[in-house]
Structure 1
Amino acid sequence: MSKSTSPYPLLSADGTGTGVVSHAGATVMLRAAEKTGLISRLSEALAPWRKP
Structure 2
Amino acid sequence: MRDRLKYQYYGPDRPEVLFDLQRNPEETVNHISDPLYESQVERFRKRAKELGFN
TM-score of the superposition, structure 2-length normalised? Answer: 0.36
Give the number of the structure with larger relative contact order, counting CA–CA contacts within 8 Å between residues 6 or more apart.
2
Q: Which protein has the larger Cα radius of gyration, Structure 1 or Structure 2?
A: 1
TM-score of the superposition, structure 1-length normalised? Answer: 0.38
